[in-house]
Amino acid sequence: MPPTSDFVKKLYKMLEDPSFHDVVSWGPHGDCFVVKDMNEFTKSILPRMFKHSNFASFVRQLNKYDFHKVKNTDDNQFGEHSWTFRHPDFHADRRDALENIKRKVPAARKSLLGARSAAAGGGGGPGAGSPSPASTTLDALQGQVAALLQTQDDMAAHIRNLENNYQNVLAEMVNFQRNMAQQDGLMQNLIGYFLQLENGQ
């Protein structure tokens, strides 16, 4: 049997690392894994484990190995922004089953194989060689949208921070001007006082 792919081995190794568990971990029953914080996962874990920082690319890679995104439910303990993925042969306690996870055959190749089978009398049937469901593309698009939304949130937070800094600078300038005015008034009083002393002499 062909060896387990590097991608699948890295995926399993990532989930075995306890230092990542606040960001990504096995699900409660060990039959799926959950990306709890997509932003931190993209910034810190993807570059370390997979040598890139593109969440949409990570989702596409999962789809190529027939992992499927699990729809979040109302009682999802990891929050509505978490991402859960499942594969029937990917389990926390089934390292031996990893070799069963294979890269999917591309649709064009499936079509060619179906045509060859039909030509050889295999009777591929009307559904042979049909492309895979659109869910693969949808999941990848969802990953891109989520990444864009996260970037938008980060930019909005940065803008708010700049606005707060601007307000702080304005407040400092107002205080500085007020202090300067007070000092100017004090100097005027001192000058007047000394002039009075001189005139009194």
CB atoms within 10 A of CB 90: 25
Is residue 128 scored above 50 in pLDDT?
no
Closest Cα to residue 161, out of 37, 169, 41?
Answer: 169
* Fold classification of 6-100 (topology level): Arc Repressor Mutant, subunit A (1.10.10)
Select, from the ranges 31-40, 106-115, 156-165, the one with the highest average predicted confidence (pLDDT).
Answer: 31-40
Mean of pLDDT over the chain: 81
Q: What is the pLDDT of residues 55-106, one digit of tens each?
A: 999 999 999 999 999 987 766 788 878 999 999 999 999 999 999 999 887 6
Which amino acid appears at position 190 of this protein? L
User: With bands split at pLDDT 50, 70 and 90, how would you rate the model's confidence at 198?
Assistant: confident
Distances (CA, A) of 183 to 171, 175, 188, 190, 192: 18, 12, 9, 10, 14
Residue ranges of domains in the chain: 6-100, 135-200
Distances (CA, A) of 140 to 55, 56, 60, 179: 9, 5, 5, 58
Whole-model pTM above 0.75? no
